[in-house]
Amino acid sequence: MMENALFESHFDLIPFGIYVVDAATSRIVYCNKAFHEHFGNHIGRCCHEALYERESVCLWCRLTELITPQGLPNGQTRVFEHFNESDDRWYQMQVRAMTWPDGRVVRYAIGVDISELKATQNQLAEAHATLALTNLELVRLSTTDMLTGLANRQHAETLLLAGLAGKTGAAIPYSLIMLDIDHFKAINDRHGHLCGDAVLRALAGMLRESVPEGLTVGRWGGEEFLISCPGLGLAAAYVLAESLRLAIAGFAMGQAGAVTCSFGVVEARPGDDLVELLGRVDHALYTAKDLGRNRVETG
Protein backbone atom coordinates (compact mmCIF):
# COMPACT_ATOMS: atom_id res chain seq x y z
CA MET A 1 0.00 0.00 0.00
CA MET A 2 1.17 3.52 -0.82
CA GLU A 3 0.39 4.74 2.73
CA ASN A 4 2.51 1.94 4.22
CA ALA A 5 5.38 2.83 1.91
CA LEU A 6 5.15 6.48 2.99
CA PHE A 7 5.34 5.56 6.69
CA GLU A 8 8.21 3.21 6.04
CA SER A 9 10.19 5.74 4.03
CA HIS A 10 9.93 8.26 6.89
CA PHE A 11 10.96 5.67 9.47
CA ASP A 12 13.94 4.63 7.33
CA LEU A 13 15.33 8.16 7.59
CA ILE A 14 15.60 7.87 11.37
CA PRO A 15 19.09 6.64 12.37
CA PHE A 16 17.80 4.69 15.38
CA GLY A 17 16.25 1.24 15.31
CA ILE A 18 12.45 1.22 14.99
CA TYR A 19 10.16 -1.76 14.91
CA VAL A 20 6.37 -1.92 14.72
CA VAL A 21 4.32 -4.69 16.36
CA ASP A 22 0.70 -5.67 15.74
CA ALA A 23 -1.03 -5.01 19.07
CA ALA A 24 -3.37 -7.98 18.63
CA THR A 25 -0.80 -10.64 17.69
CA SER A 26 2.56 -9.25 18.93
CA ARG A 27 3.96 -9.95 15.46
CA ILE A 28 6.44 -7.54 13.93
CA VAL A 29 4.89 -5.83 10.92
CA TYR A 30 7.73 -3.48 10.08
CA CYS A 31 11.33 -2.62 11.03
CA ASN A 32 13.31 0.28 9.64
CA LYS A 33 16.70 0.15 7.97
CA ALA A 34 18.70 0.86 11.15
CA PHE A 35 16.89 -1.91 13.03
CA HIS A 36 17.25 -4.37 10.14
CA GLU A 37 21.01 -3.76 9.88
CA HIS A 38 21.55 -4.40 13.58
CA PHE A 39 19.04 -7.12 14.47
CA GLY A 40 18.15 -8.63 11.11
CA ASN A 41 14.76 -9.04 9.44
CA HIS A 42 12.16 -10.47 11.82
CA ILE A 43 8.96 -9.35 10.11
CA GLY A 44 6.14 -11.79 10.79
CA ARG A 45 7.65 -13.17 14.00
CA CYS A 46 6.44 -12.44 17.52
CA CYS A 47 8.63 -9.69 18.95
CA HIS A 48 9.29 -11.43 22.27
CA GLU A 49 10.45 -14.57 20.45
CA ALA A 50 12.49 -12.85 17.75
CA LEU A 51 14.20 -10.21 19.88
CA TYR A 52 14.38 -11.72 23.36
CA GLU A 53 13.93 -15.48 22.87
CA ARG A 54 10.97 -15.48 25.26
CA GLU A 55 7.89 -17.67 24.93
CA SER A 56 5.54 -15.08 26.39
CA VAL A 57 5.09 -11.32 26.35
CA CYS A 58 8.01 -9.48 27.97
CA LEU A 59 7.54 -8.18 31.49
CA TRP A 60 8.68 -4.72 30.39
CA CYS A 61 6.18 -4.50 27.53
CA ARG A 62 4.22 -1.23 27.85
CA LEU A 63 1.43 -2.07 25.37
CA THR A 64 -1.36 -2.15 27.97
CA GLU A 65 -0.36 1.37 29.04
CA LEU A 66 -0.68 2.68 25.48
CA ILE A 67 -4.18 1.56 24.46
CA THR A 68 -7.68 2.16 25.76
CA PRO A 69 -9.91 -0.62 27.16
CA GLN A 70 -11.44 -0.71 23.69
CA GLY A 71 -8.04 -1.48 22.17
CA LEU A 72 -7.45 1.92 20.56
CA PRO A 73 -4.33 4.11 20.87
CA ASN A 74 -4.63 6.43 23.90
CA GLY A 75 -2.08 8.96 22.66
CA GLN A 76 0.38 8.35 25.47
CA THR A 77 4.12 7.75 25.11
CA ARG A 78 6.36 5.80 27.45
CA VAL A 79 10.11 6.38 27.69
CA PHE A 80 12.33 4.03 29.68
CA GLU A 81 15.77 2.46 29.74
CA HIS A 82 16.20 -1.19 28.91
CA PHE A 83 19.16 -3.57 28.80
CA ASN A 84 18.93 -5.95 25.86
CA GLU A 85 20.60 -9.24 26.77
CA SER A 86 20.65 -10.36 23.15
CA ASP A 87 23.29 -7.80 22.19
CA ASP A 88 24.45 -6.67 25.67
CA ARG A 89 23.49 -3.08 24.98
CA TRP A 90 21.52 -0.41 26.84
CA TYR A 91 18.70 1.36 25.01
CA GLN A 92 16.47 4.27 25.75
CA MET A 93 13.11 3.07 24.50
CA GLN A 94 10.29 5.29 23.33
CA VAL A 95 7.05 3.39 22.71
CA ARG A 96 3.64 4.52 21.54
CA ALA A 97 0.50 2.99 20.02
CA MET A 98 -0.83 4.20 16.70
CA THR A 99 -3.09 3.17 13.85
CA TRP A 100 -1.13 1.69 10.97
CA PRO A 101 -2.19 2.74 7.47
CA ASP A 102 -3.94 -0.60 6.93
CA GLY A 103 -6.15 0.04 9.98
CA ARG A 104 -4.39 -2.20 12.49
CA VAL A 105 -3.52 -0.90 15.94
CA VAL A 106 0.22 -1.24 16.40
CA ARG A 107 2.87 -0.34 18.91
CA TYR A 108 6.01 1.22 17.56
CA ALA A 109 9.27 1.32 19.52
CA ILE A 110 12.29 3.54 18.90
CA GLY A 111 15.49 2.25 20.54
CA VAL A 112 18.38 4.69 21.01
CA ASP A 113 21.62 2.95 21.96
CA ILE A 114 22.83 4.61 25.18
CA SER A 115 25.45 2.03 26.13
CA GLU A 116 28.30 4.54 25.99
CA LEU A 117 26.31 6.98 28.10
CA LYS A 118 25.56 4.26 30.67
CA ALA A 119 29.23 3.29 30.73
CA THR A 120 30.15 6.92 31.39
CA GLN A 121 27.50 7.15 34.11
CA ASN A 122 28.87 3.99 35.72
CA GLN A 123 32.40 5.39 35.58
CA LEU A 124 31.20 8.61 37.16
CA ALA A 125 29.35 6.67 39.85
CA GLU A 126 32.47 4.63 40.57
CA ALA A 127 34.54 7.82 40.66
CA HIS A 128 32.07 9.43 43.08
CA ALA A 129 32.13 6.31 45.27
CA THR A 130 35.94 6.28 45.25
CA LEU A 131 36.00 9.98 46.08
CA ALA A 132 33.53 9.46 48.92
CA LEU A 133 35.68 6.64 50.33
CA THR A 134 38.78 8.81 49.94
CA ASN A 135 37.07 11.66 51.78
CA LEU A 136 36.04 9.29 54.56
CA GLU A 137 39.62 8.06 54.80
CA LEU A 138 40.90 11.65 54.90
CA VAL A 139 38.45 12.44 57.69
CA ARG A 140 39.57 9.34 59.55
CA LEU A 141 43.23 10.25 59.14
CA SER A 142 42.63 13.84 60.23
CA THR A 143 40.73 12.83 63.38
CA THR A 144 42.55 9.66 64.45
CA ASP A 145 45.73 9.17 66.43
CA MET A 146 47.78 6.84 64.25
CA LEU A 147 49.48 4.97 67.09
CA THR A 148 46.43 4.14 69.20
CA GLY A 149 43.50 4.47 66.79
CA LEU A 150 41.74 6.80 69.24
CA ALA A 151 40.56 10.33 68.59
CA ASN A 152 43.58 12.60 68.20
CA ARG A 153 44.06 15.83 70.16
CA GLN A 154 42.39 18.01 67.54
CA HIS A 155 39.32 15.76 67.38
CA ALA A 156 39.26 15.44 71.17
CA GLU A 157 39.09 19.24 71.45
CA THR A 158 36.17 19.24 69.03
CA LEU A 159 34.38 16.66 71.19
CA LEU A 160 35.03 18.70 74.33
CA LEU A 161 33.59 21.82 72.71
CA ALA A 162 30.55 19.84 71.58
CA GLY A 163 30.10 18.48 75.11
CA LEU A 164 30.27 21.96 76.61
CA ALA A 165 27.85 23.29 73.99
CA GLY A 166 25.41 20.46 74.77
CA LYS A 167 25.35 21.24 78.47
CA THR A 168 22.25 23.28 79.33
CA GLY A 169 22.54 24.54 82.89
CA ALA A 170 22.41 21.65 85.34
CA ALA A 171 19.86 19.70 83.29
CA ILE A 172 22.46 17.92 81.14
CA PRO A 173 25.70 17.16 83.00
CA TYR A 174 29.03 16.90 81.26
CA SER A 175 32.19 15.52 82.82
CA LEU A 176 35.76 15.03 81.70
CA ILE A 177 38.27 12.39 82.74
CA MET A 178 42.00 12.76 82.16
CA LEU A 179 44.38 9.87 82.87
CA ASP A 180 48.12 9.52 82.67
CA ILE A 181 50.32 6.40 82.75
CA ASP A 182 52.44 6.40 85.90
CA HIS A 183 56.22 6.32 85.44
CA PHE A 184 55.90 6.06 81.66
CA LYS A 185 59.37 7.53 81.09
CA ALA A 186 60.84 4.71 83.15
CA ILE A 187 59.09 2.18 80.88
CA ASN A 188 60.68 3.76 77.81
CA ASP A 189 64.08 4.01 79.50
CA ARG A 190 64.01 0.41 80.73
CA HIS A 191 62.38 -1.40 77.79
CA GLY A 192 62.69 1.00 74.86
CA HIS A 193 60.22 3.13 72.94
CA LEU A 194 58.76 0.21 70.99
CA CYS A 195 57.66 -1.30 74.30
CA GLY A 196 56.29 2.09 75.33
CA ASP A 197 54.29 2.27 72.11
CA ALA A 198 52.94 -1.24 72.75
CA VAL A 199 51.78 -0.13 76.21
CA LEU A 200 50.01 2.88 74.72
CA ARG A 201 48.25 0.69 72.14
CA ALA A 202 47.26 -1.89 74.75
CA LEU A 203 45.88 0.77 77.08
CA ALA A 204 43.99 2.41 74.20
CA GLY A 205 42.39 -0.92 73.29
CA MET A 206 41.40 -1.54 76.87
CA LEU A 207 39.85 1.91 77.22
CA ARG A 208 38.01 1.54 73.92
CA GLU A 209 36.42 -1.72 75.07
CA SER A 210 35.71 -0.59 78.65
CA VAL A 211 34.28 2.90 78.18
CA PRO A 212 30.46 2.85 77.77
CA GLU A 213 28.84 3.66 74.45
CA GLY A 214 28.20 7.37 74.02
CA LEU A 215 31.47 8.38 75.68
CA THR A 216 34.60 9.02 73.62
CA VAL A 217 38.24 8.27 74.37
CA GLY A 218 41.00 10.39 72.88
CA ARG A 219 44.76 10.54 73.14
CA TRP A 220 45.62 13.98 74.46
CA GLY A 221 49.34 13.61 73.93
CA GLY A 222 52.23 11.44 75.04
CA GLU A 223 50.87 9.10 77.72
CA GLU A 224 47.82 11.25 78.53
CA PHE A 225 44.28 10.27 77.56
CA LEU A 226 40.93 12.04 77.80
CA ILE A 227 37.44 10.58 78.16
CA SER A 228 34.59 12.88 77.13
CA CYS A 229 31.53 12.04 79.23
CA PRO A 230 28.36 13.74 78.00
CA GLY A 231 25.42 12.97 80.28
CA LEU A 232 27.56 11.96 83.27
CA GLY A 233 27.75 13.99 86.46
CA LEU A 234 30.83 14.10 88.67
CA ALA A 235 29.83 11.11 90.82
CA ALA A 236 29.14 8.84 87.85
CA ALA A 237 32.34 9.92 86.10
CA TYR A 238 34.31 9.22 89.30
CA VAL A 239 32.86 5.69 89.50
CA LEU A 240 33.83 5.09 85.86
CA ALA A 241 37.37 6.39 86.43
CA GLU A 242 37.81 4.21 89.52
CA SER A 243 36.63 1.11 87.68
CA LEU A 244 39.07 1.85 84.86
CA ARG A 245 41.91 2.42 87.34
CA LEU A 246 41.34 -0.97 88.95
CA ALA A 247 41.05 -2.73 85.59
CA ILE A 248 44.29 -1.18 84.30
CA ALA A 249 46.21 -2.03 87.47
CA GLY A 250 45.24 -5.68 87.11
CA PHE A 251 46.14 -5.96 83.43
CA ALA A 252 49.60 -6.97 82.22
CA MET A 253 50.88 -4.76 79.40
CA GLY A 254 53.22 -7.20 77.65
CA GLN A 255 56.93 -6.76 78.33
CA ALA A 256 56.29 -3.80 80.60
CA GLY A 257 54.15 -5.93 82.90
CA ALA A 258 51.51 -4.24 85.04
CA VAL A 259 51.17 -0.48 84.82
CA THR A 260 49.07 1.97 86.75
CA CYS A 261 47.35 5.24 85.84
CA SER A 262 46.44 8.37 87.72
CA PHE A 263 43.09 10.05 87.04
CA GLY A 264 41.62 13.51 87.27
CA VAL A 265 37.84 13.97 87.04
CA VAL A 266 35.84 17.20 86.76
CA GLU A 267 32.29 18.19 85.91
CA ALA A 268 31.67 21.22 83.74
CA ARG A 269 30.25 24.20 85.56
CA PRO A 270 27.93 26.80 84.06
CA GLY A 271 30.04 29.26 82.11
CA ASP A 272 33.05 26.94 81.80
CA ASP A 273 35.02 27.28 78.61
CA LEU A 274 37.50 24.77 77.23
CA VAL A 275 40.54 26.37 78.88
CA GLU A 276 38.91 26.42 82.31
CA LEU A 277 37.68 22.84 82.05
CA LEU A 278 41.06 21.52 80.91
CA GLY A 279 42.83 23.53 83.58
CA ARG A 280 40.72 22.01 86.33
CA VAL A 281 41.00 18.41 85.09
CA ASP A 282 44.76 18.81 84.62
CA HIS A 283 45.05 20.10 88.20
CA ALA A 284 43.01 17.15 89.51
CA LEU A 285 45.28 14.73 87.63
CA TYR A 286 48.44 16.22 89.08
CA THR A 287 46.92 16.16 92.52
CA ALA A 288 46.52 12.38 92.04
CA LYS A 289 50.17 12.23 90.99
CA ASP A 290 51.32 14.25 94.01
CA LEU A 291 49.33 12.05 96.39
CA GLY A 292 51.14 8.91 95.31
CA ARG A 293 49.77 7.99 91.82
CA ASN A 294 47.40 5.13 90.92
CA ARG A 295 44.40 7.02 92.27
CA VAL A 296 41.44 9.18 91.19
CA GLU A 297 41.06 12.80 92.25
CA THR A 298 38.30 15.27 91.44
CA GLY A 299 38.44 18.99 90.90
Q: Is the CA virtual torsion 204, 178, 216, 276 positive or negative?
A: negative
DSSP strand pairing (261-267 vs 296-298): parallel
Q: How far apart are CA 7 and CA 261, in angstroms?
A: 90
Of the chain, the end-to-end C-alpha distance in Å amounts to 101
Cα 227 from chain centroid (whole Å): 27
Cα 95 from chain centroid (whole Å): 37
Reduced to 3 states, what is the DSSP secondary structure of residue 46?
Answer: strand
DSSP H helices in 144-250: 153-166, 184-191, 193-210, 234-249
Which of 8, 223, 224, 242 is catalytic? The answer is 223
Nearest to 243 by CA among 265, 223, 270: 265
Helix 193-210 with 234-249: angle, nearest 10 deg: 130
The answer to whether 32 and 11 have CB atoms below 8 angstroms apart is yes
Q: How far apart are CA 214 and CA 99, in angstroms?
A: 68
The answer to whether 220 and 159 have CB atoms below 8 angstroms apart is no
Q: How far apart are CA 241 and CA 228, in angstroms?
A: 12
Number of neighbouring beta carbons within 10 Å of residue 180: 20
**Catalytic status, residue 267:** no
Q: How far apart are CA 133 and CA 200, in angstroms?
A: 29
DSSP strand pairing (17-22 vs 105-113): antiparallel
Helix (H) or strand (E) holding 274: helix 274-290
Catalytic residues: 223
